Amino acid sequence: MSQDGFLSVRSIAGAYGATRVLEDINLEIARGEFVALLGSSGCGKTTLLRTIAGFISPTAGSISVAGKDVTRLPPDKRGMALVFQSYALWPHMTVAQNIGYGLKLRGMPRAEIGARVSAMETLLGLDGLGARKPAALSGGQRQRVALGRALAIDPEILLLDEPLSNLDARIRLTVRHELRALQKRLGITAIHVTHDREEAMVMADRIVILDAGRIAQQGAPEEVYNRPTSAFVAAFMGAENVLSLSGAPRGENFVIAAGPANAPGTVPLMGRRLVAGAVEARFRPEAAQLFSAATPVVGPGITFLGEVTAVSYPGGHWRHSVRLAAHEIMADASRAFEPGEAVQVHVAPEALFLFSSPDQTPAPAISRSATGKVHA
């Protein structure tokens, strides 16, 4: 990440009265980059977006665009456009009037507005719908009108506040790709707020995960998915199986001690800062391999012994609940194991995320909000 991005957010803090909502947010976003702000409900995503847009004043820090400090500028002077979840279209105006609304406010001549609106309609696949009112459009079409209105003013930065969350699941998938393709084609810089992990993964160049008003981790989708730096991020990114293990670093490896459900094992440290003692181990259900108890398991990683307690078929694979000593975990397999069957659960080193227990690493000062539950 470059030191000075096109959009720089430096040490931003935010609060509603005495309630601190954002703490020391630093982001450097390159021109043309698509960044997803991902986090659970109430973690501060919308507050951060609206602070960048200029609708909320930060209590500390600065925001600049192309080297110019915009922290004290009103929203319409920042070269940004915000698209809301609710579309916020004018119901009494036609599609064309809605798209041209910002241009009219800026005093653009009528003929120019007409040309720009029809270019937007073509760009967004709204040709022939210019005379309709929003009530006579589908959700996907309304969302495109809202996008057209935002893009019509030719913003340098597009801010998207869950713009797809009112669309039904199938249209959502299509609009995701349309929006991403459009953003690439226009080379526009975009920040997209979402609590949908998959949406962030497929759309963004970079994912910024917020936890209780702080950046928990940021990086390319594959980086935050495969190398979470905290138990919070691992859980948020779907590694919901959790076990307590203990071990100690030895050279380049972390040696896991035998436990109630596991034989000793060794996994490479791969740059992780683990200390001797208890570790929280996390892995995804799809990252586990299931074997019957009698099958010899070879290969690096760690193997747990357990018993299947339930099996279901969510589609594509069988999902098993498996009891490992005091823990219950989920593991997928291409065939069904029977409830009551003794099984081995093998997790490869790269799929096993280990974190030293919180009491062995200092926790950040801000506490998790009551609404900061993980719902990836």
Q: Which residues bind ligand ATP (CB under 6 A)?
A: 16, 19, 21, 39, 41-47, 195, 369, 371
- Kindly state the smallest distance separating residue 317's Cβ from ligand ATP, in Å: 30
- Number of helices (H) and strands (E) in the chain: give both, helices first: 8, 20
- What is the distance between the alpha carbons of residues 339 and 175, in angstroms, rounded to a whole number? 41
Beta carbon nearer to ligand ATP, 83 or 281: 83
Minimum CB distance to ligand ATP smaller for 51 or for 262? 51
Min dist. Cβ of residue 367 to ligand ATP (A): 12
The span from the first CA to the last CA of the chain, in angstroms, equals: 26
Q: How far is the CB of 23 from ligand ATP (least distance, A)?
A: 12
Instruction: Indicate the residue among 184 and 373 with the shorter CB distance to ligand ATP.
Output: 373
Nearest CB to ligand ATP, comparing residues 42 and 61: 42
Between the CA of residue 84 and those of 167, 312, 332, what are the distances in Å?
13, 38, 38
Nearest approach in angstroms of CB 201 to ligand ATP is 17
One-letter amino acid of 375 = H
- In the complex, the smallest distance separating the C-beta of residue 27 from ligand ATP, rounded to whole angstroms, is 15
Name residue, tokens 């609710």.
Answer: 86
| Identity of the residue, 86 or 226, whose beta carbon is nearer to ligand ATP in the bound complex | 86
Identify any residues that bridge with 268 across adjacent strands, giving them in sequence order.
253
Task: Assign 93 to helix, strand or coil.
Answer: coil
For 301, which DSSP code? B
CB of 161 to ligand ATP, least distance (A): 8
When the beta carbons of 83 and 324 are compared against ligand ATP, the nearer one is: 83
Task: Find tokens 């210019």 and name the residue.
Answer: 130
Which is closer to ligand ATP, CB of 321 or CB of 369? 369
Query: What beta strand segments (E) does 165-314 contain?
Result: 189-194, 206-211, 214-219, 241-250, 253-256, 265-268, 277-283, 288-292, 302-312
Nearest distance, CB of residue 16 and ligand ATP, angstroms: 3
Q: Whole-number minimum distance, CB 219 to ligand ATP, in Å? A: 19
Using CB atoms within 10 A of its CB, is residue 139 exposed (0-12), middle (13-18) or buried (19+)?
middle
Please enumerate in sequence order all residues whose Cβ is within 8 A of that of 305, keeping only pairs 6 or more positions apart, or say none.
Answer: 261, 262, 293, 324, 342, 343, 344, 345
Encode burial over 202-228: b for 16+ CB neighbours within 10 A, e otherwise: ebbbbbbbbbbbbbbbbbebeebbebb
At residue 155's C-alpha, the angle toward residues 168 and 161, to 5°, is 30
Closest among 183, 210, 157 to 42, alpha carbons compared: 210
CB closer to ligand ATP, 211 vs 280 = 211
Query: Of 45 and 176, which has the nearer Cβ to ligand ATP?
Result: 45
Strands 342-347 and 353-356: unpaired
239: left (phi over 0), alpha (psi -120 to 50) or beta: beta
Shortest Cβ 264–ligand ATP spacing (Å): 42
Q: What minimum distance in Å lies between the beta carbon of 2 and ligand ATP?
A: 27
Nearer to ligand ATP, 23 or 280 (CB): 23
